[in-house]
C-alpha cells in the first residue's frame, strides 16, 4: 500500500511571476497537493478564474481557484496539466504518474446466479449502473471537503483497490474500492462533508447503497448496507452516521464496500486517509 500523501508540488512560480498583469501576489501560484500515482487524488490551487485542463479535458475549478485531479487505476505514466489565466498567460506542466501493480483476488464458491445473473438480473444491473453514471455526471458543485477525509468504518481491510477479481474462475472488473470487514450493524460514517445524492434500498449488486457528493466531482459510495440513516438531499458532516454495515446485494460475507470517484473515474480510497485506526477494545 502506498502512503504518499502530503507531497507538495509548487508549479510555475517562475512562469507566473513574469506576467505583469497578474501582480506579484503569492497566491497566484499554481500548487498541487497529493500523490501523483494511479488511484490518487490531487488537490490543486490556481488563481481565481483560471481555466484548467488535464490531458485536454476541462477540469472544474471552484470560484476560489481550487480544483481536483484524479488518476484512475490504469492511468498512463504521463499527463499534461494546463492552466490558462484570465490575463492570457498559461502554464503547461508534464506530470509523471507513478504506475502500480495490483493483486489478483480469487473468490470461489459464489452462487452461480450471482456470478452469471439471469436476464432480469442483467436488466437490473444495467439500470442501476446507468443511474449511478447519471448521478456522477451531474454538474459539479462547490467543494465542501476542506475538513478532510476519514475512514467510514473500522475493521480489517478485506479488499484493496485495483485488485483483479477472479470469481468462480472467471476474470471480472477490477475492484474499484476498499472493503472493510466490519460486523453487521457497525456504524458507517461519511468520509467527508457532503450531500446525499443517492440513497437506494434495493440495488441488484450493491444492495442498500448511499452515494455522497463532496463537490468538484468528488463523490463516495457506501454499499451492501443493512440500514440507511439518511435521505437523498440531506447534507452530512464528516463522520456523521449515514448507515450500518450489512450484507445486502452481491456479497460473500458482510462488509462495507467504500468507493471514491472523481466524476466517473474510480480512485483508491485508502490514499485519502491514513492507516486504519485501531479498533476500540
- Residue ranges that bind Zn ion, judged by CB under 5 A: 159, 179, 257
Query: Which of 2, 3, 71 is closest to 32 using CA atoms?
Result: 71
Q: How far is the CB of 233 from Zn ion (least distance, A)?
A: 26
Neighbours of 14 (CB within 10 A): 10
Using alpha carbons, list the distances in angstroms from residue 229 to 99, 188, 242.
38, 9, 5
The β-bridge partners of 44 are: 32, 67
Q: How far is the CB of 208 from Zn ion (least distance, A)?
A: 14
Joined together, the cell numbers standing for residue 117 give 445473473
Q: How far is the CB of 179 from Zn ion (least distance, A)?
A: 4
140 vs 174, beta carbon nearer Zn ion: 174
Length of the chain: 281
- For residues 168 and 115, the answer to whether their CB atoms sit within 8 Å is yes
163 vs 240, beta carbon nearer Zn ion: 163
34 vs 159, beta carbon nearer Zn ion: 159
Q: How far is the CB of 168 from Zn ion (least distance, A)?
A: 17
How many angstroms from the chain centroid is the CA of residue 255? 18
Q: How far is the CB of 95 from Zn ion (least distance, A)?
A: 29
136 vs 257, beta carbon nearer Zn ion: 257
Strand 170-171 to 194-203 pairing: unpaired
66 vs 257, beta carbon nearer Zn ion: 257
Which residue is it, cell 476498499? Answer: 178
How many angstroms from the chain centroid is the CA of residue 47? 25
173 vs 280, beta carbon nearer Zn ion: 173
By beta-carbon distance, which residue lies closest to Zn ion? 257
Joined together, the cell numbers standing for residue 27 give 497566491
12 vs 152, beta carbon nearer Zn ion: 152
- For residues 30 and 91, the answer to whether their CB atoms sit within 8 Å is yes
Q: How far is the CB of 23 from Zn ion (least distance, A)?
A: 48
- DSSP result, 147-170: T----SS-S-EEE-TTPEEEETTE
C-alpha 229/C-alpha 116 separation (Å) is 31
Q: How far is the CB of 89 from Zn ion (least distance, A)?
A: 44
Amino acid at each position: 500500500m502506498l502512503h504518499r500523501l502530503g507531497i507538495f508540488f509548487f508549479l510555475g512560480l517562475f512562469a507566473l511571476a513574469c506576467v505583469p498583469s497578474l501582480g506579484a501576489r503569492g497566491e497566484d501560484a499554481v500548487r498541487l497537493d497529493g500523490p501523483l500515482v494511479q488511484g490518487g487524488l490531487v488537490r490543486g490551487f490556481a488563481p481565481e478564474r483560471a481555466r484548467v485542463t488535464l490531458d485536454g479535458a476541462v477540469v472544474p475549478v471552484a470560484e476560489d481557484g481550487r480544483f481536483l485531479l484524479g488518476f484512475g487505476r490504469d492511468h498512463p505514466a504521463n499527463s499534461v496539466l494546463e492552466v490558462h489565466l484570465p490575463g492570457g498567460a498559461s502554464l503547461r506542466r508534464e506530470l509523471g504518474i507513478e504506475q502500480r501493480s495490483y493483486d489478483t483476488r480469487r473468490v470461489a464458491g459464489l452462487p452461480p446466479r450471482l456470478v452469471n445473473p439471469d436476464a432480469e438480473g442483467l436488466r437490473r444491473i444495467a439500470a442501476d449502473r446507468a443511474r449511478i453514471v447519471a448521478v456522477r455526471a451531474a454538474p459539479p458543485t462547490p467543494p465542501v471537503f476542506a475538513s478532510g477525509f476519514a475512514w467510514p468504518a473500522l475493521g480489517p481491510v478485506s479488499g484493496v483497490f485495483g485488485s483483479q477479481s477472479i470469481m468462480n474462475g472467471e476474470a471480472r472488473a477490477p475492484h474499484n474500492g476498499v472493503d472493510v470487514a466490519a460486523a453487521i450493524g457497525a456504524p458507517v460514517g461519511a468520509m467527508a462533508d457532503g450531500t446525499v445524492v443517492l440513497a437506494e434500498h434495493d440495488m441488484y449488486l450493491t444492495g442498500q447503497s448511499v452515494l455522497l457528493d463532496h463537490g468538484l466531482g468528488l463523490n463516495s459510495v457506501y454499499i451492501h448496507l443493512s440500514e440507511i440513516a439518511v435521505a437523498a438531499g440531506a447534507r452530512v458532516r464528516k463522520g456523521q452516521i449515514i448507515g450500518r454495515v450489512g450484507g445486502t446485494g452481491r456479497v460473500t460475507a458482510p462488509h462495507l464496500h467504500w468507493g471514491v470517484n472523481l466524476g466517473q473515474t474510480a480512485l483508491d480510497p485508502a490514499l485519502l486517509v491514513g492507516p486504519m485506526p485501531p479498533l476500540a477494545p
